[in-house]
Amino acid sequence: MTTPSQTVGPFFGFALPYADDWALVPEGHPGAVLITGRVLDGAGEPVPDAVLELWTGETGTRGALARGGPGASGFGRCATEPDGSYRFRAAPPAGPYYSLTVFARGLLRQVLTRIYLEDRPDPLLDSLPPGRRATLIARPDDAGAHRFDVRLQGEGETVFLAF
């Protein structure tokens, strides 16, 4: 029988983060994608104690834990800042989307979603009403990054997935 989930709690910060955890590719990696955003709660307030994990769909040649060296890793992790913000620098995803999980104090299980870098025909996107579809699509920002906010609850609530 499956082991039940429990919250990551508020005190993971000395254990789960590691050096360059957010940098799946080194600085200057050709074609690198910068993803930034914030995690927001049901009152629209930032969630300063969440930790996000990004999975591109392929392992790659760079260490997932021990960064260093060239190449790309498929896995990254980023704890949110006091303003709820996070960032990843990654290679483009193997398919049309990144997989993203969010853990936080107050989340008794993680939530699982997808980041699409552009709107496109897609079985999941096409199954959603327009307002909900938009929650899965990153928006380019002025700095050349892709902006993707996670709204855990309420207006503009991000689409979360169950497999």
Partner 1 sequence: MTHPPYLSPGYRSTVLRAPSLPPVEMKADPEAAELTSPVFGPTEIGPLDADLTAGRPGEPIGERIIVTGRIVDSGGRPVPGTLVEIWQANAAGRYAHQLDRHPAPLDPNFSGAGRCLTDDEGRYRFVTIKPGAYPWRNHHNAWRPAHIHFSVFGTAFTERLVTQMYFPGDPLFPYDPIFCSVPGQEARDRLVAAFDLDVTEPEWALGYRFDVVLGHTPMEDR
Chain positions contacting partner 1, by CB under 8 A: 1-16, 41-43, 45, 47, 53, 55-59, 63-66, 73-75, 93-95, 97-99, 101, 103-112, 123-124, 127-128, 152-154, 157-163
What is the rounded CA–CA span in Å between residue 113 and residue 102?
8
Nearer to partner 1, 116 or 145 (CB): 116
- What's the token pair of residue 37? 């955003």
What is the rounded CA–CA span in Å between residue 93 and residue 33?
9
CB of 71 to partner 1, least distance (A): 13
User: Any residues with CB less than 8 A from the CB of 113 and at least 6 apart, and which?
Assistant: 99, 100, 101, 102, 136, 150, 158, 159, 160, 161
Nearer to Fe ion, 12 or 160 (CB): 12
C-alpha 120, offset from chain centre: 19
Residue 59 contact partner, candidates partner 1, Fe ion, none, CB within 5 to 8 A by sort of partner:
partner 1
Nearer to partner 1, 43 or 143 (CB): 43
Residue nearest to Fe ion (CB): 9
